[in-house]
Structure 1
């Protein structure tokens, strides 16, 4: 008779299960045509999601209160929640549908925990909005793992080949001269020391100056609102081309810096301090292969591209300016800051220190440390590069992919996902602190348009 052995929850997974840090990823996926409920249920029943051990396991506690995964039989109907059409209202305009979807995501962020009587995931089918919302507990895996799994279950719209649009970047050429390598090593050591010192100080007492977008202890329990900032990837690439060696991330942080400057200049009760520093907390994928992963590699035990929560945190300061007339300067300053972070091992340090704290002191102490870092910073940001080709699921073309998560002590969290030439940044805010997230989203969108217009002039002349 075959027996199954309970598998211990990873340190990162245990952290995400703590009451102060109970994190659920909420991913909204839009479709071009009305939902075919039976086709979606059939595809879900046959996809990798229900075959992966994490999605077929219950969370159980032993006599000492330690968490384990225990394999169980899946009843697909327990995980699929059908939202029936509201008879009192029809959402005819795209703006109305978007507002309703954002309202649902905001509600999920604070008031809808996942039942521990079944594996920690749900699929919500909302026919009137042509939308599916995946709700997956963060202890099952990070965004890279979960998005890679979902995309492995999709097909390309043009149906050319079997690849679902997962992007892979070329590895860096390792043939470097000894002198160049030595200089790079010294820079890594130097910037790592500075970054680690800054990270430790954030755990203790250093915190951002109070602004109109500051959160703090207890803010994770406040009601939320959500909005979507939409960026054309080609516009971001246009800006990237005129700033030497810039990346999309550099452009993104330039947009955030400019957008916050615009918002705070209008919403602050007093004049905005020129050069005001606001610190963000960013998530960095630590797998050797950047970007989305092939599911075959994620499923292999000895693969360097492991399943789970393989990411570290880094502190990313941005600076607000209202007197700078050249919007491209925001990108240049962001690039200078991010280049220094790339030369440090801050993300690896935070990941391993977190695991060490979990092993030595337990999840409660590790949760307190992470909570303090969040309380001493201003916002959370993540950026996931998705497929650039249009995909289908259950024969229905996908129109957008948007992701957010449960509330944090930050008053604002931002998660950007690119798909088919567009990048949607989902903005989740504490509505008592930021009552106008749609205006904030417009500040970010306007920032990119200003940068693009200047970049086009630079290219033209």
Structure 2
């Protein structure tokens, strides 16, 4: 079939997309279905809904010999949907004895299989047997150069229907109170008002913004040149850090209401809670596995992925289907330490994140990255980006999913668990909300984290402990009032 939208018959690949292609980073989205797979119905949905909605599902990257450095371009091509559907033959005994592990092993094997660059860079894998969470499983694997988490999520939601009301699209979470960029300054008071205190406050906020931006950009440059996190259990060994390792993807579900309870008790954001949970879980795992003194404090850093799109009505993104990669990142410090009060992890995360919101580093990181790729070539830009990633400990991402369950290609979706592979870190942490649940998804180097399910359990336990502490805090506050 031909792509219905011919507006992108040929288009240069964005600097971010070229970097993703060079590093070989791919997205893996595991979706549990509420029913067994009806392959003809699902195939028809892929052809009529997904392929026609996103032009890059009909394109292949082609090197442009006329351009400097032979930069790739997206070139439209005919799509045979059957070429993108995979039905693996798994060992029946292994599936019967442990279906969850059979799915997990199969998805892990995909991280070592290269994608066919001669056809559009996406494929669906169907595992038609029940697990504890779903009646069947479908795995969408696609190259990260096609788009980021937001664009892929909006594609799937735009091609879906609400399970509550099939006549409409699934509802997205309400937009946050903030509608501008995270670094947005307060409006400058008019000079004629005579309120010099307000004017001084505005000037001071500009100074703080400039100072924090300078400090953050200096740290980023230092990271690229020489500054690196100390080696820990979470760091890929340097002697084998450049080889492609098999990734294992594990996930666990917990209640979004528990996260909201902690958020309310701490007067912070959802992201602050999740960063705090990550720090608490990694701390529990580290001191249990290493046997080191629990009074030790290890300062590490995470690369937090940030969607550079303006914050507005998320349903608008769904109806128009965002495309491409519009990601940037920031370095967020976190400590490996054991705290008596579990809510202190959230308080510390809130302090770190509030500090990052008073900086233009998020914007400058993306602009400078694109400048390097455009003016110094893909190899240089990718080399610098790779060094930036290898000198931090983990990648952290919090993706926004639909606020209610949906049906995709005629099948109810029980859960969604997105992640990536191809990144140099040994550990990547993704959070993704879907309906009233939130998934924590870990992508780990298979050999290095053979006990990854214990690490996953530390995330769930950290949420449980924080929820109880938050409930007690709110009860105590209510009694005192």
Query: C-alpha distance in 2, partners of 1:154/1:198?
Result: 43
Whether the 8 Å contact between 1:16 and 1:138 is mirrored in structure 2 is yes
Whether the 8 Å contact between 1:242 and 1:459 is mirrored in structure 2 is yes
Q: How many residues align?
A: 446
Structure 1 residue 269, shift from structure 2 partner: 5.1
**Match runs of 1:9-48 below 5 Å:** 9-18=13-22, 21-48=23-50
Question: Could you tell me which residue of structure 2 aligns to residue 221 of structure 1?
Answer: 244
Question: Could you tell me which residue of structure 1 aligns to residue 341 of structure 2?
Answer: 326
Which stretch has the larger CA shift, 159-168 or 232-241?
Answer: 159-168
Question: Could you tell me which residue of structure 2 aligns to residue 442 of structure 1?
Answer: 457
Q: Secondary structure at the match of 1:398?
A: strand
Question: Could you tell me which residue of structure 1 aligns to residue 129 of structure 2?
Answer: 128
Query: C-alpha distance in 1, partners of 2:446/2:8?
Result: 46
* 2:470 is the alignment partner of 1:455: yes
Question: Could you tell me which residue of structure 1 aligns to residue 443 of structure 2?
Answer: 428
Whether the 8 Å contact between 2:53 and 2:155 is mirrored in structure 1 is no
Whether the 8 Å contact between 1:253 and 1:334 is mirrored in structure 2 is yes
Structure 1 residue 367, shift from structure 2 partner: 1.1
Question: Could you tell me which residue of structure 2 aligns to residue 159 of structure 1?
Answer: 165
- The CA deviation string for residues 143-183 of structure 1, in whole angstroms up to 9 with x for no partner, is 10111011111111111652322234156489846235444
TM-score (norm 1): 0.91
Which stretch has the larger CA shift, 141-150 or 388-397?
Answer: 388-397
Query: C-alpha distance in 2, partners of 1:401/1:91?
Result: 23
Residue 161 and residue 274 in structure 1: after superposition, are their counterparts in 2 closer, same or farther (change >3 A)?
farther
* 2:264 is the alignment partner of 1:241: yes
Whether the 8 Å contact between 2:300 and 2:333 is mirrored in structure 1 is yes
**Match runs of 1:365-384 below 5 Å:** 365-384=380-399
Query: C-alpha distance in 2, partners of 1:112/1:166?
Result: 34
Question: Could you tell me which residue of structure 1 aligns to residue 326 of structure 2?
Answer: 310
What stretches of structure 1 move > 6 A for 4+ residues in a row? none
Structure 1 residue 292, shift from structure 2 partner: 4.6
Whether the 8 Å contact between 1:83 and 1:127 is mirrored in structure 2 is no
Whether the 8 Å contact between 2:172 and 2:402 is mirrored in structure 1 is yes
Whether the 8 Å contact between 2:247 and 2:421 is mirrored in structure 1 is no
Whether the 8 Å contact between 1:57 and 1:69 is mirrored in structure 2 is yes
Whether the 8 Å contact between 2:157 and 2:318 is mirrored in structure 1 is no
Question: Could you tell me which residue of structure 2 aligns to residue 302 of structure 1?
Answer: none
Query: C-alpha distance in 2, partners of 1:28/1:12?
Result: 24
Which stretch has the larger CA shift, 123-132 or 443-452?
Answer: 123-132
Residue 177 and residue 63 in structure 1: after superposition, are their counterparts in 2 closer, same or farther (change >3 A)?
closer
Residue 48 and residue 434 in structure 1: after superposition, are their counterparts in 2 closer, same or farther (change >3 A)?
closer
Whether the 8 Å contact between 2:421 and 2:443 is mirrored in structure 1 is no
Q: Secondary structure at the match of 2:120?
A: coil
TM-score (norm 2): 0.87
Question: Could you tell me which residue of structure 1 aligns to residue 175 of structure 2?
Answer: 169
Q: Secondary structure at the match of 2:93?
A: coil
Query: C-alpha distance in 1, partners of 2:54/2:121?
Result: 13
Whether the 8 Å contact between 2:161 and 2:167 is mirrored in structure 1 is no
Query: C-alpha distance in 1, partners of 2:137/2:462?
Result: 29
Question: Could you tell me which residue of structure 2 aligns to residue 210 of structure 1?
Answer: 231
Query: C-alpha distance in 1, partners of 2:302/2:179?
Result: 31
Whether the 8 Å contact between 1:105 and 1:226 is mirrored in structure 2 is yes
Unaligned stretches of 5+ residues in structure 1 = 300-305
Question: Could you tell me which residue of structure 2 aligns to residue 411 of structure 1?
Answer: 426
Question: Could you tell me which residue of structure 1 aligns to residue 217 of structure 2?
Answer: 196
Query: C-alpha distance in 2, partners of 1:150/1:258?
Result: 32
Query: C-alpha distance in 2, partners of 1:458/1:3?
Result: 55
Which stretch has the larger CA shift, 140-149 or 42-51?
Answer: 42-51
Query: C-alpha distance in 2, partners of 1:202/1:10?
Result: 25
Unaligned stretches of 5+ residues in structure 2 = 1-5, 131-135, 181-185, 190-197, 477-481
Query: C-alpha distance in 2, partners of 1:124/1:172?
Result: 39
Residue 358 and residue 291 in structure 1: after superposition, are their counterparts in 2 closer, same or farther (change >3 A)?
farther
Whether the 8 Å contact between 1:292 and 1:386 is mirrored in structure 2 is no
Q: Secondary structure at the match of 2:208?
A: helix
Query: C-alpha distance in 2, partners of 1:366/1:199?
Result: 14
Whether the 8 Å contact between 1:168 and 1:289 is mirrored in structure 2 is no
Structure 1 residue 128, shift from structure 2 partner: 1.6
* 2:157 is the alignment partner of 1:141: no
CA RMSD, 1 decimal:
2.3
* 2:271 is the alignment partner of 1:255: no
Query: C-alpha distance in 1, partners of 2:472/2:407?
Result: 38
Question: Could you tell me which residue of structure 2 aligns to residue 274 of structure 1?
Answer: 296
Residue 381 and residue 293 in structure 1: after superposition, are their counterparts in 2 closer, same or farther (change >3 A)?
farther
Structure 1 residue 90, shift from structure 2 partner: 4.3
Residue 162 and residue 353 in structure 1: after superposition, are their counterparts in 2 closer, same or farther (change >3 A)?
same
